[in-house]
Amino acid sequence: MRVSRKWRYLKSKIRAGFGHNPQDPIKPGDLALFCPACPQSGINLPSNWQEDKNQLG
Amino acid sequence: MLCSWIEVQDEYLYYILSLETHVGNWTCQQCHNINGHLRCKDCFGSPILCKACCMSVHQQSPFHHIEKWSSGFFTETSLDTEGFVLYLGHSGAPCPVETLIDMDEDLELEAAKSRVIENDDIDMLGEWEITNTDNGSLTITVVDCNGVHHQHVRWCCCPDAPSKDIQLLKERLFPASVHRPSTAFTFQVLDYFHIDSVECKTSAMNFYSKLKHLTNYTFPSLVSVCSWHHN
C-alpha cells in the first residue's frame, strides 16, 4: 500500500513537470489536474464576473 | 521508514525518468551486428533489438508491448505494426508446408476472388473467405492479461492440420467461435479473470474495461472487441 502511494506520487510529479527539476519547490495545488469544466476567469467565465449584479447570492 | 524514502525520492525519480531513454550503444543486444531501434517493455531488462531479432525473440512471447525509437523518444508501437506474424501449429515457427504454398498463394487468391465475384456474393462471409483461404493469413484479436492485441496469424497448412479453432487451442488460445475464429483468449487471461471474479468480485464488464485501459489508457473506447469492429 505504501509503495503504491509512493508510485502514484512520483508519477504525478512527472506528470506535473517536476521530474527533471526535483529541486523546484512544489506549492499547494501544483500536482492537481487541470479541470476544464471548472470556472476559469477569462476562459469560461467573464473576467468581470465579480461585478455581475445578477449573479446568484 | 518513510523519512528515509523522502531523502532518496529525487534519486528514485531520476532513475525512473532515465528509463525513458537508452544510454549506451544502440547495437542490437541479440545479434550484436546492426543497430536496433526497438525495445520490449515486457522482456526483462528491456533490451534494444533490431527488427529481425525482435520478431524472432517474440515468437515465444507474442503478446509483449514494444516501443520504437523515433527521433528523440520512444513511442509505443505493436509487434503487429512492425510486421510480426504469429505462426500456429509449430511452436511459433513457420509451417514447413507454407513455403511451398506461398508460391501458389497469389494465384489461389485471384481464383478465390473471381469465384466470389461470379457468385455475386460479396458479403461479410465472402470477404472473410478471400482473406482466409486455408493457407492464407488473417488478423485476429487476442485478449491477454496485459491488454487486447491484434495479431497477424498464419495457420498451419500441413496435410494433417487440425481445424483453426483446434490450432488455436493447441497454442493455449481459447477461440471465441468454432467456425472462422477471429477472436481468442489466452488461457492465462481466463485463469486470471476466474481468480479475479471469485476473489475480487470483478464483473466481466469491469474486467474488460480494465483490459481496455491497459491497452489504450488515453482512448480506451477505441479498443475493439473483435477484428471486424476494429477501425
Give the helix ranges, DSSP H, for chain B: 2-18, 51-57, 98-118, 124-131, 164-170, 187-199, 204-215
Q: Is the ipTM of this complex over 0.90?
A: no
In the predicted model, is pLDDT for residue B128 greater than 50?
no
- B-chain residues near A23 (CB < 8 A): 10
Angle (CA) B26 B31 B34, round 5°: 45
pLDDT, tens only, B42-93: 999 899 999 999 999 999 899 999 999 988 899 999 999 999 999 998 888 8
Give the model's confidence band at B132: pLDDT under 50 very low, under 70 low, under 90 confident, else very high: very low
Give the helix ranges, DSSP H, for B155-203: 164-170, 187-199
Residue B196: all three cell numbers together: 479475479
For A10, the closest of B1, B2, B13 (CB atoms) is: B13
For A22, the closest of B1, B2, B13 (CB atoms) is: B13
Report the C-alpha gap between B157 and B128 in whole angstroms. Answer: 18
Task: Provide the number of CB pairs (under 8 Å) joining chain A to chain B.
Answer: 20
Judge whether B6 is closer than 8 Å to chain A, CB to CB.
Answer: no
In the predicted model, is pLDDT for residue B134 greater than 50?
no
Q: Contact at 8 Å (CB) between A6 and B6? A: no
In the predicted model, is pLDDT for residue B97 greater than 90?
no
C-beta atoms of B17 and A6 within 8 A = no
Residue B46: all three cell numbers together: 528491456
Report the C-alpha gap between B156 and B135 in whole angstroms. Answer: 7
Q: What is the reported pTM?
A: 0.76
pLDDT, tens only, A13-43: 888 888 888 778 888 888 888 888 988 888 8
In the predicted model, is pLDDT for residue B129 greater than 60?
no
Q: At what angle do helices B204-215 and B187-199 cross, to 10 degrees?
A: 130
